[in-house]
Structure 1
Amino acid sequence: DGRIFKPGQGNNSYIFPGVALGAILFKAKHIPDKAFLLAARRCANFVTEKSLQTYARLYPRLKDIRELSVLIAIDVGNYLFKHDLATLHPEPEDKDMEMGSQAHYVTHNPQERRASDSNHRTHEMFIRQQIYSVEYDELINKTYSWPTKDMKHGFPVPVIERTSMDDE
């Protein structure tokens, strides 16, 4: 139909982080090719219809990449335990947790969403507890006002003559 799609490279950004997260957390004996196929399928299913049709994106938005990595790690973890490739013991308790709530589990594929509503079992809580938080508190107080005498044209300028902060 004459549309131009924008391909990307899925290995470093989209596929490897989730596969590695699952392999490391569940202590895989080895990483089978199937893990990468599961990751590719999850990545493809994560692309919204709007992204595909309106923006011609073949990969999900980068802002969703952390969530995608968690979902790939869940798929990899489930596969590893199912095929006796995980050496993490005991198996995380939330393996039997029903994913009735869609609060953390996001999928854009309607068929996959129906399957996840009914009996999709995951290692989601275990994975989310292991992920490093990237949220930081502010280091600089935003309400600080520079003294007018230490400013030039509205911008703070350090005063070199002072020997201490107590000098006024």
Structure 2
Amino acid sequence: MYKPGQGNNAYIFPGVALGAVLFCTKHIPDKLFLLAARMVAEAVSEKSLNTYSRVYPRLKDIRELSVKIAVEVGEYCYRHDLATLHPKPKDMEMFIRQNLYSVEYDELINKTYEWPAKDSKHGFPVPVLRRTSMDEE
């Protein structure tokens, strides 16, 4: 059974873009996409391929794969004088991890307080709705 996936949008572009943005590359050569595609292919285990017919790595591993691709993108860009971020970070993986987008937020709104029902209506008159002949029709 073959299950197609979003190879470019889900696996290739995030890692390549992460490396390109963080290392301020002059341009993105096609070679980087081939490099990323090979890394994605290598990330698929034999069991995943043969038992579950997966041609892409598991989604739970996608963030780590993007970090690995970004490291390789950075190495390639520094080797080929495409990176403009200087000096080159000593620990490229740590540099990437420090700049990853995080979906965890501090709570912006204070915990709500449940006002007693009597106090929550105090000072705010509640209008009385009257039925009209139009309501009955």
**TM-score, structure 1 length as denominator?**
0.63
Paired residue for 2:21? Answer: 24
**One-letter identity of the residue aligned with 1:44:** A
Runs of 4+ in 1 over 6 A off after TM superposition: 138-141
Q: Partners in 2 of 1:46 and 1:160 — Cα distance?
A: 61
**One-letter identity of the residue aligned with 1:42:** M
1:149-168 pair list within 5 angstroms: 162-163=120-121
Secondary structure of the structure 2 residue equivalent to 1:75: helix
Q: Percent identity?
A: 68
Does 2:4 match 1:46? no
Paired residue for 1:72? Answer: 69
Does 2:93 match 1:128? no
Does 2:4 match 1:35? no
When residues 136 and 32 of structure 1 are mapped into structure 2, their CA distance, relative to the original with a 3 A threshold, is: same
How far did 1:133 drift?
Answer: 2.1
Paired residue for 2:54? Answer: 57
Q: Partners in 2 of 1:140 and 1:54 — Cα distance?
A: 49
Deviations 1:52-109 (A, max 9, x none): 1111000011111111110110110000001111010111122xxxxxxxxxxxxxxx
**One-letter identity of the residue aligned with 2:66:** S
Q: Please, which of 6, 10, 30 is the counterpart of residue 7 of structure 2? A: 10
Q: Partners in 1 of 2:89 and 2:98 — Cα distance?
A: 11
Equivalenced residue count is 120
Q: Partners in 1 of 2:118 and 2:67 — Cα distance?
A: 51
When residues 163 and 89 of structure 1 are mapped into structure 2, their CA distance, relative to the original with a 3 A threshold, is: same
Q: Partners in 2 of 1:128 and 1:35 — Cα distance?
A: 20
**One-letter identity of the residue aligned with 1:128:** R
Higher helix share: 2
Q: Partners in 2 of 1:14 and 1:140 — Cα distance?
A: 37
Deviations 1:128-167 (A, max 9, x none): 11012223467897xxxx9xxx9xxxxxxxx699326xxx
Higher-Rg structure is 2
Secondary structure of the structure 2 residue equivalent to 1:38: helix
Q: Partners in 2 of 1:136 and 1:62 — Cα distance?
A: 22
